[in-house]
Chains A and B, each alone.
Chain A
């Protein structure tokens, strides 16, 4: 019997199609991605069934960490520049042009106003390591109220979002809400994650 000849096939495969798919996906992810600003604390937001998405613009975020520290940020570089200028006028502490620039680029911060200059002088790597003590918001020294007030003067469309950690203690949350009410902010948002639990029945 003659042997059946198995033709030797080349092992190399045409990669073009795979490359096409790979780069298509790559393009999609590159366009869809949004880099998170580096935050001084990681906050594990509670989940809820609320389905309203958080707006991207005109928002100031008050972050409450699980160890009861309060952080503040606002979106928009120009608004932040206005904000720091207004704050410096209010507190009568002059800020240099570099410091104003640095502030407008900085993400969330949580230091008393007196330490703000120190924080701005740091490089971003140092800042990440620096232990921020939180913005004071008790009745004796309520700097958070000033920040909220001046932010609303800088951007009159701004809305308030509270991003609290699941395990944040209620007294701090109450304090923040009281501060907001004090400044006549009676409508605000709690940032939550979408719950996986179904509501039916």
Chain B
């Protein structure tokens, strides 16, 4: 029989059965806790909690013949040209002459394109005698102040989007624009509650327009 002899050669062999020493049942947990926290740290650092979000885009079906192309009413439309260095050049079409008005340079800040879009949309809706023209922030505030119910807020937000007199946005990105600019401007559509917008290819005329606008007002 293999027996491990404890204590080496120092002899307290009293003969007979060695009495089992009563050992404490307590175990030192410290290494286990160390290991536990090490693993926690590892998993906390590798895990990514926020899942990526998506933005759904619907593009029109490509038509072979361009007959179906709708003409946008000039007074309702705004054309946004996404230029380099996160700048936007926008212009309206003059209702009377049908010529583009003087382009304006703006940017993606809150007071920039967002203010323009919100103001213009409101202006158009007031002009069309729509009784529902308040922007999303105003409606949200009214909801928070308990002036309107949640259902009413939602239906009014949807109403602005569907209003045939609301602003129509044509988005054209220059070749020097970045992908971020495109996502940002689509984001603004979401924020400003604009239901009708389209991403259209830029024309050489408009590329020239950006150049001249930049030359007039250098950054």
Give the distance in Å from the alpha carbon of A163 to the alpha carbon of B137 in the complex: 30
Per-position 1/0 for A159-182, Cβ under 8 A of B: 001011111111101100100111
Q: Does B56 contact A (CB under 8 A)?
A: yes
Q: Chain B residue with minimal CB distance to A187?
A: B58
Q: Does A155 contact B (CB under 8 A)?
A: no
Q: How many residues of B contact A (CB 8 A)?
A: 51
* Complex interface: stretch among A20-28, A70-78, A95-103, A112-120: A20-28
Output the least CB separation between B216 and chain A (Å): 23
Main secondary structure of the interface of A (DSSP, over half): mixed
* Complex interface: stretch among A50-58, A79-87, A130-138: A50-58
Q: Does B183 contact A (CB under 8 A)?
A: yes
Per-position 1/0 for B30-66, Cβ under 8 A of A: 1011001101100110111111111111111110000
Q: Does B173 contact A (CB under 8 A)?
A: yes
Q: Chain A residue with minimal CB distance to B37?
A: A22
Give the distance in Å from the alpha carbon of A180 to the alpha carbon of B57 in the complex: 12
Q: Chain A residue with minimal CB distance to B174?
A: A170
Contact between chains at B43 and A177 (CB < 8 Å): no
Binding site for B on A (CB under 8 A): 15-16, 18-19, 22-23, 25-26, 29-30, 32-36, 45-46, 48-54, 64, 161, 163-171, 173-174, 177, 180-182, 184, 186-195, 199-201
Given A48-B186, A49-B187, A184-B61, residue A166 in contact with residue B178 (CB < 8 A): yes
Contact between chains at A50 and B62 (CB < 8 Å): no
* Other A-B pairs beyond A170-B174, A171-B175, A187-B58, 20, CB < 8 Å: A15-B33, A19-B33, A22-B33, A26-B39, A46-B180, A49-B191, A50-B187, A52-B55, A54-B52, A64-B179, A170-B177, A170-B181, A174-B201, A184-B62, A186-B58, A186-B62, A192-B53, A192-B54, A199-B136, A200-B140
Give the distance in Å from the alpha carbon of A32 to the alpha carbon of B59 in the complex: 36
Output the least CB separation between A13 and chain B (Å): 10
Q: Does B104 contact A (CB under 8 A)?
A: no
Given A48-B183, A200-B137, residue A194 in contact with residue B55 (CB < 8 A): no
Which residues of chain A have C-beta atoms less than 8 A from B57's C-beta? Answer: 187-190
Which residues of chain A have C-beta atoms less than 8 A from B141's C-beta? Answer: 200-201
